[in-house]
Amino acid sequence: MNSRTVTDIRYLNIYFQVHQPRRLGQFSFFDIGTHRDYFDDGMNQIIMRRVARDCYLPANELLLKLISQYPNIRITFSISGVALKQMEHFAPAVIESFRKLAATGSVSFLAETYYHSLACLMSPEEFAVQVKMHQEKVYQLFGIYPTVFRNTELIYSDDIGRQVRDLEFDCIFADGVDSVLAGRSPHHLYEHVDRNGLMIFFRNYRLSDDIAFRFMQKDWKSWPLTPRKYVQWLDTMPRNENLVTLSMDYETFGEHQKRQDGIFKFMEGFISLLATSRKYEMVTPAEAINLMSPVDIVTSRKPISWADQEHDLSAWLGNDMQRDAFETLKKLEAGVQKTNDHNLIAAWRYLQTSDHLYYMSTKAGDDGNVHNYFSPYASPYEAFMNFMNVMSDLSLRVDTGDLSRTIKAHHGKLKLKGAVL
């Protein structure tokens, strides 16, 4: 049989998240009111360059090679504005290699909040501003204006869906959380509960986490994971389930999982298998919504996300400290905006990056270990104290009208130290 019908084909929607927060420097209680810099861009530079060397550059190069071999490959990226800005300053070669990927026509880019923030929970106005900023940044760098949305860490609810629809997006990513799918398969296209034309892609989190987390776990029953084994799992899905969404941190390749553990070989093998298979076709989200219709509507009154076992907001707002920090950010909105001071507003937005709240989590167990892995602090208490001291400084500035004479909200030019990369 040479001719294949649509039902024979299973579509694969693969998206990688690229993000680096702008980490804070040490800020003690006694620094409040002293006009010290908030951000440790020396550390941010070191980390960005390390991840560029170990992950972004080699992974992009591998994808470029594969795409030149198989032009039918489709990969989607979401790169936070905070990461893009740091790449421009600290690792411009990464921007260049993403440009090359964009030029192949095989790669698409998603929109998100520029600051990788929880602005969706702050105010619709602030959310809209950050999304627009991100769209423009992606267009400026890659010449592609993103029209598909993914929210920070796939945070989604009916209400967030409405905000996103109001910004004229026609699709969004969400995590395939069991409680929301309520027994239905994540392998279809769904629509917002209002039937407002917002299509939803549900990530298969088990299959995604097999690569993102379990790949290197030697005590996992499926270790070692090979591309063939993985594709066999896809093969065994019911035939009518025709859209599989896989997504994970791009840093999975070479940063979270190391080259010597074979993660690049896996990626190469997996994508090559898909590209040469008659059963699978890789698609961008925009292609997918042209190819299929939603099978049902879904509702999620409470926000869901791809973080932690709870798949809710508890990774960022799970304890009193996190909620206090977020409320403090929120309360500052009107005051900060009123100053009309660009640097001050930018600093406040950099502080909204969800990672700052993520570091304050007091969860134990496996989730706690993941929080610790990402955190530059020794404990959630240090993360909170440091953040709140900065916030206190910022609100003092807002209150006293002591604006940005010395605040460095945007990256200054840093001297390049030869030994870093």
Partner 1 sequence: MEAKRVSGKTLVVHVHATEFDRGGDHINSEIFDIERKGMDAADRVIAVSRLTRDIIVSRYQIEESKVEVVHNGVMVKQVRAKDMLPSVGGPVVTFLGRITHQKGPVYFIDAAQKVLQKFPQVHFVMAGSGDLLPAMIEHAAELKLSSHIHFTGFLNSAKVDQVWAISNVYVMPSVSEPFGLTPLEAMMAGVPVIISKQSGVSEVVNHAIKVDFWDTEALASAICDLLTYNSLKNTIKKESGEECKRITWDRAAKKINTIYHELTNSD
Query: Considering only 63-71, 77-85, 277-285, 313-321, which stretch makes contact with partner 1 by CB under 8 A?
Result: 313-321
Binding letters toward partner 1, positions 179-198, x by CB under 8 A: --------------------
The least distance separating partner 1 from the CB of residue 216, rounded to whole angstroms, comes to 25
Q: Kindly name the residue from 126, 153, 191, 255 that is annotated as catalytic.
A: 153
Query: Residues 344 to 363: which contact partner 1 by CB under 8 A?
Result: 362
If one asks whether residue 324 binds partner 1 (CB under 8 A), the answer comes out as yes
Distance of CA 12 to the CA centre of its chain: 19
Q: Centre a 10 Å sphere on the Cβ of residue 137 and count the other Cβ atoms it contains.
A: 19
The least distance separating partner 1 from the CB of residue 318, rounded to whole angstroms, comes to 10
Q: Are the C-beta atoms of residues 242 and 9 closer than 8 Å to each other?
A: yes
If one asks whether residue 142 binds partner 1 (CB under 8 A), the answer comes out as no
Between CA 285 and CA 296, with CA 290 as vertex, the angle to 5 degrees is 85
The least distance separating partner 1 from the CB of residue 317, rounded to whole angstroms, comes to 12
**Cα 136 from Cα 371, distance rounded (Å):** 31
Residue 314 corresponds to which tokens in the numbers above? 């508890």
Query: Considering only 132-140, 289-297, 301-309, 320-328, which stretch makes contact with partner 1 by CB under 8 A?
Result: 320-328
Looking at residue 252, the DSSP 8-state letter turns out to be G
The least distance separating partner 1 from the CB of residue 332, rounded to whole angstroms, comes to 15
Annotation marks residue 153 as catalytic: yes
Would you say the C-alpha torsion 364, 369, 374, 375 has a positive or negative sign? positive
Query: Residues 374 to 393: which contact partner 1 by CB under 8 A?
Result: 378-382, 384-385, 388-389, 392
Of the candidate residues 147, 319, 343, 404, the single one contacting partner 1 (CB under 8 A)? 319
Return the number of the residue (26 or 276) whose C-beta is nearest partner 1. Answer: 26
Return the number of the residue (74 or 363) whose C-beta is nearest partner 1. Answer: 363
Q: Are the C-beta atoms of residues 248 and 55 closer than 8 Å to each other?
A: no
Q: Centre a 10 Å sphere on the Cβ of residue 142 and count the other Cβ atoms it contains.
A: 21
β-bridge pairing 171-175 and 189-192: unpaired
If one asks whether residue 73 binds partner 1 (CB under 8 A), the answer comes out as no
Q: Centre a 10 Å sphere on the Cβ of residue 31 and count the other Cβ atoms it contains.
A: 18
The least distance separating partner 1 from the CB of residue 245, rounded to whole angstroms, comes to 36
Return the number of the residue (216 or 360) whose C-beta is nearest partner 1. Answer: 360
The least distance separating partner 1 from the CB of residue 399, rounded to whole angstroms, comes to 16
Q: Is 9 exposed, middle or buried (0-12, 13-18, 19+ CB in 10 A)?
A: middle
**CB-side neighbour CA atoms (13 Å) of 220:** 13
Of the candidate residues 321, 329, 370, 407, the single one contacting partner 1 (CB under 8 A)? 321
Helix axes 320-339, 380-400, angle to 10 degrees: 20
**Cα 54 from Cα 316, distance rounded (Å):** 28
Chain positions contacting partner 1, by CB under 8 A: 28-30, 319-321, 323-325, 362, 378-382, 384-385, 388-389, 392
- Give catalytic residues, as residue numbers: 153
